[in-house]
């Protein structure tokens, strides 16, 4: 008797049973509940389907199809422990009813309704190969890879023994091979994994999951081009396959095709808003491209999906560190370490945050831990080198940075960090070489371009400095610090229009940064543009009178108002400045001169040679506003000729002389 006859006989026997009226009504209710549950299941409404399946199984605990589907619901809802219990019950039913009289088993694909084993007393036992395959998936989700592999192997054996070439049977066999491939990949048996994945594709070339599985194996072996091809074939079969988009996005990221990678990861998340891997990889890609706020949003979404995922906290902390939000970074990284203290990168990032806050001893302790966990961690050596520099241990600093470069000779950051140390030690020549090497290795490293600009500014090459900053801003257009720095370079080159435009842009990007108001205020005064006193007042409102630059900005409030003929406002600003500037602090003597308490000769004597440029510039402006042109020109020329050719006082004097037509 063949298998089909076995099943038909079982169904006929079931149909011939007689029920009482009460039993028939109860059976009708269960059948109705069963159909409702199956409908909800087919619609993907898994949480709603489960209570219906519970009721069916209360009445018919051996209904293996419902057991299997309820288990799948639990898998879809990320509850593999509950799913495993259902799949194990299916297997227990197999064991309870062994083959009798040497007869074969009856193999039931997932689409068949399973009769009660009690109806099959003489010809064998009911087997449910899909239950074994789904059991393997549950075990994979629980990290029990060896057991999962064994379960998938049984599923392969069951489907193969079925001997049917029905499409549903072949799909089941292919799925079992896909599961085997995933288990083997996790166990590090990549060649065996690829063979299983390839077999799945051969058996069922119309299944997008088979191509996705094989793409995963390619990616695990670093063959990202082949992986991208398989993911694309999956998408040709199913244009809404979230995992295929995610896999191809990750592969494109490794191939340097960032735009395609981002597009694919966006699609993956649109299709499956609970795909933690997609958020993780998109966050990493966005962070790499400098889109830090967007990266943080992805890591927050990842943490919401997986609140115990230490890697999510680690990566978020790394982004916060790069953004300069160091205290937040430390809190997040501490959570990562609490969840998993075996990750060197978590200690490395927290150490970097402590270093940026000037807490060098804490930084060194964390970086020691990072190096202990991973002795080949170039980033930890690089950061520890900077921390040692902060404690004044310069020899140890250079040793660590040399070690970082030895471990990662093609990484830009160790060269950049060593250049920072060398520049601060005054070795500008070697610093320049390291900065240029960093740019060569990573042309998108905006901080290296900005650092080169600082060196060129110090050498008086403001044109090259501005060029370097153009490149840096092109890479990081929303950095107010870079835009302000370019404004400073343009100011030194005498490009007041360009400088003021940059300062305006920097303030638009960050209206609360007091440093830009300092730069723009003095540039406005030098260029003869109204608003210098406004910038001074904004600075004082933000910082008050306790900042080291506050006395100078109080003076600027006076000079800016006088330059525009607002005498009453200038007098009020002068009185306020005198009231808030200690008598022995600079520029208190200038304020007393403007008040008329001392004369120019006394001011020059009081200031000394170190402030000659400033004193002559302020006296020159005062004489100019008093219509004493000859004295104004004398003092302004003295300021322009002073030893600080790029100081604001010299710039102020030169710009004023140019406007007067007397360079």
What pLDDT, in 10s, does the model give residues 268-322? 999 999 999 999 999 999 998 888 999 999 999 999 999 999 999 999 999 999 8
* Two structure tokens written together for 607: 């200031």
SS3 content of the chain, % helix, strand, coil (to 5): 75, 0, 25
Residues 573 and 622 in one domain: no
Neighbours of 531 (CB within 10 A): 16
603 lies in the same domain as 654: yes
Name the helix (H) or strand (E) containing 174: helix 167-186
Q: Tokens 């799909």 correspond to what residue?
A: 171
Q: Quick one: pLDDT at residue 162?
A: 61
**Closest Cα to residue 189, out of 217, 216, 163?**
217
**pLDDT-wise least confident of 7-21, 116-130, 322-336:** 7-21
Residue 111: what pLDDT? 38
Mean of pLDDT values over 377-387 = 95
Report pLDDT for 163: 59
**Number of domains the chain contains:** 2
Burial of 140 (0-12, 13-18, 19+ CB in 10 A): buried
547 shares its domain with 573 = yes
pTM here is 0.61
127: phi then psi, degrees, rounded to nearest 5? -120, 150
Does a structural domain hold residue 534? yes
% of the chain surpassing 90 pLDDT? 70
Could you give phi then psi for residue 44, rounded to 5 degrees?
A: 80, 15
- Cβ 457 vs Cβ 488: under 8 Å: yes
For 548, the token pair is: 């080291």
445 Cβ partners below 8 Å, 6+ apart?
Answer: 412, 413, 416, 438, 439, 475
Q: In this structure, what are the phi and psi dihedrals at residue 510, rounded to the nearest 5 degrees?
A: -145, 90
pLDDT digits (tens, 9 = 90+) for 318-358: 999 988 899 999 999 999 999 999 999 999 999 999 999 99
Query: How would residue 16 be classed by pLDDT, with cut points 50, 70 and 90?
Result: very low
545 in a structural domain: yes
Lowest mean pLDDT among 157-161, 395-399, 400-404, 649-653: 157-161
Q: Give yes or no: residues 576 and 604 share one domain.
A: no
According to DSSP, residue 302 is labeled H
In a domain, 220, yes or no: no
- What's the pLDDT score for residue 559? 97
In a domain, 635, yes or no: yes
Region 228-240: mean pLDDT is 95
631 inside domain: yes
CA–CA distances in Å: residue 556 to residues 37, 409, 524, 550: 77, 49, 10, 10
What is the per-residue pLDDT across 613-642, written as a single tens digit (0 to 9) for each? 899 999 999 999 999 999 999 999 999 887
From residue 479, how far is each of 85, 290, 334, 445 by CA, in Å? 55, 10, 28, 13
Distance CA 587, CA 553 (A): 10
What is the rounded distance in angstroms from the CA atom of residue 450 to the CA atom of residue 470?
9
- State whether 609 and 663 are in the same domain: yes
Can the peptide bond before residue 587 be classed as cis, meaning omega within 30 degrees of 0? yes
Of the listed ranges 3-17, 107-121, 159-173, 360-374, the least confidently predicted one is 3-17
Residue 126 banded pLDDT, cuts 50, 70, 90: very low
Domain that holds residue 573: 522-583
**418-442 pLDDT, tens per residue?**
999 999 889 999 999 999 999 999 9
Read off the pLDDT band of 265 (50, 70, 90).
very high
Instruction: Tell me which of 556, 583, 610 is where a domain ends.
Output: 583
State the Cα–Cα distance between residues 162 and 105, nearest whole angstrom: 9
Q: Return the residue matching tokens 């090259």.
A: 464
Report percent pLDDT > 70 for the chain: 89
Task: State the alpha helices, DSSP H only, in 43-143.
Answer: 46-59, 64-76, 80-96, 129-141
Q: Does any domain span residue 533?
A: yes
pLDDT above 90: residue 236: yes
Last residue in a domain, options 583, 618, 652: 583
Two structure tokens written together for 373: 């966990």
Q: Over 90: is that where the pLDDT of 407 sits?
A: yes
Which pLDDT score is estimated for 644?
Answer: 57
What's the whole-number average pLDDT of the chain? 87
- Per-residue pLDDT of 179-197, as tens digits, reads 999 899 899 898 898 899 8
Quick one: how far is CA 538 from the chain centroid?
35
Decide if 182 contacts 138 (C-beta within 8 A). Answer: no
What pLDDT was estimated at residue 113? 34
* Confidence label for 264 from pLDDT (cuts 50, 70 and 90): very high
User: Cα–Cα distance between 115 and 121 in angstroms, integer?
Assistant: 12
The answer for residues whose C-beta is within 8 angstroms of residue 136's C-beta and 6 or more apart is 148, 149, 151, 152, 155, 176, 179, 180, 183
Domain-located, residue 568: yes
* pLDDT tops 80 at residue 643: no
Map tokens 């049973």 to a residue: 17
CA 573, chain centre distance (Å): 47
pLDDT higher than threshold 80 for residue 658? yes
Q: Is residue 398 part of a domain?
A: no
Residue 495 vs residue 2, higher pLDDT: 495
Residue 115 is predicted with a pLDDT of 37
Kindly state whether residues 605 and 651 are assigned to the same domain: yes
pLDDT value of residue 129: 84
Mean pLDDT of all residues in 534-556: 95
Instruction: Give 150: exposed, middle or buried? Use CB within 10 Å, 0-12, 13-18, 19+.
Output: middle
């Amino acid at each position: 008797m063949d298998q089909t006859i076995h099943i038909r006989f079982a169904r006929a026997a079931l149909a011939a049973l007689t029920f009482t009226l009460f039993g028939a009504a109860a059976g009708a209710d269960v059948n109705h509940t069963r159909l409702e549950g199956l409908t909800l299941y087919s619609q993907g409404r898994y949480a709603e389907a489960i209570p219906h399946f519970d009721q069916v199984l209360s009445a018919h605990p051996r209904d293996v199809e419902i057991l299997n589907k309820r288990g799948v619901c639990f898998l879809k809802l990320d509850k593999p422990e509950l799913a495993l219990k259902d799949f194990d019950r299916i297997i227990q039913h197999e064991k309870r009813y062994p083959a009798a009289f040497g007869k074969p088993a009856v193999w039931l694909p997932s689409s068949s309704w399973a009769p009660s084993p009690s109806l099959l007393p003489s010809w064998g036992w009911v087997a449910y190969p899909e239950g074994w395959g789904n059991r393997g998936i549950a075990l994979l989700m629980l990290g029990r890879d060896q057991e999962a592999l064994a379960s998938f192997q049984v599923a392969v054996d069951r489907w193969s023994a079925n001997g049917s070439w029905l499409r549903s049977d072949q799909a089941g066999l292919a799925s079992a091979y896909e599961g085997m491939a995933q288990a083997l990949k996790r166990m590090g048996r990549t060649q065996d994994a690829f063979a299983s994945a390839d077999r799945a594709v051969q058996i069922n070339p119309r299944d997008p999951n088979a191509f996705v599985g094989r793409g995963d194996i390619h990616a695990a072996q670093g063959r990202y081009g082949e992986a991208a091809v398989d993911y694309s074939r999956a998408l040709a079969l199913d244009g809404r396959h979230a995992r295929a988009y995610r896999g191809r996005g990750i592969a494109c990221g490794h191939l340097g095709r960032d735009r395609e990678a981002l597009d694919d990861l966006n699609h993956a998340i649109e299709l499956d808003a609970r795909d933690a891997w997609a958020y993780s990889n998109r966050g990493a890609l966005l962070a790499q491209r400098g889109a830090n706020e967007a990266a943080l949003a992805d890591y927050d979404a990842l943490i919401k999906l997986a609140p115990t995922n230490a890697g999510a906290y680690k990566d978020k902390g790394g982004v916060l560190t790069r953004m300069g939000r160091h205290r937040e970074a430390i809190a997040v990284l501490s959570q990562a370490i609490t969840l998993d203290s075996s990750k060197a990168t978590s200690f490395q990032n927290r150490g970097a945050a402590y270093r940026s806050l000037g807490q060098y001893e804490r930084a060194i302790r964390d970086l020691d831990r990072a190096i202990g966990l991973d002795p080949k961690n170039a980033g930890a050596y690089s950061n520890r080198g900077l921390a040692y520099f902060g404690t004044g241990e310069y020899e140890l600093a250079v040793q660590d940075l040399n070690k970082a470069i030895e471990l990662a000779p093609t990484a830009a950051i160790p060269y950049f960090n060593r250049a920072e140390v060398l520049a601060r030690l005054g070795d500008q020549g070697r610093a320049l070489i390291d900065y240029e090497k960093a740019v060569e290795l990573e042309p998108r490293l905006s901080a290296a371009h900005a650092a080169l600009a600082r060196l060129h500014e110090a050498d008086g090459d403001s044109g090259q400095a501005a060029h370097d900053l153009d490149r840096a801003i092109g890479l990081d257009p929303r950095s107010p610090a870079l835009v302000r720095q370019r404004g400073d370079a343009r100011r030194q080159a005498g490009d007041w229009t360009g400088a003021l435009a940059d300062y305006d842009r920097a303030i638009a990007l960050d209206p609360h940064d007091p440093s830009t108001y300092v730069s723009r205020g003095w540039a406005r005064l030098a260029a003869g543009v109204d608003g210098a006193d406004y910038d001074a007042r904004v600075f004082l409102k933000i910082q008050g009178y306790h900042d080291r630059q506050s006395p100078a900005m109080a003076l600027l409030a006076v000079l800016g108002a006088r330059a525009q003929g607002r005498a009453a406002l200038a007098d009020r600003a002068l009185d306020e400045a005198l009231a808030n500037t200690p008598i022995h602090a600079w520029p208190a003597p200038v304020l007393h001169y403007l008040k008329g308490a001392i004369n120019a000769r006394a001011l020059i004597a009081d200031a000394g040679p170190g402030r000659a440029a400033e004193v002559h510039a302020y006296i020159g402006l005062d004489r100019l506003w008093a219509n004493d042109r000859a004295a104004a020109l004398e003092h302004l020329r003295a300021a322009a000729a002073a030893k600080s050719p790029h100081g604001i006082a010299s710039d102020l004097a030169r710009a004023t002389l140019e406007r007067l037509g007397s360079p």
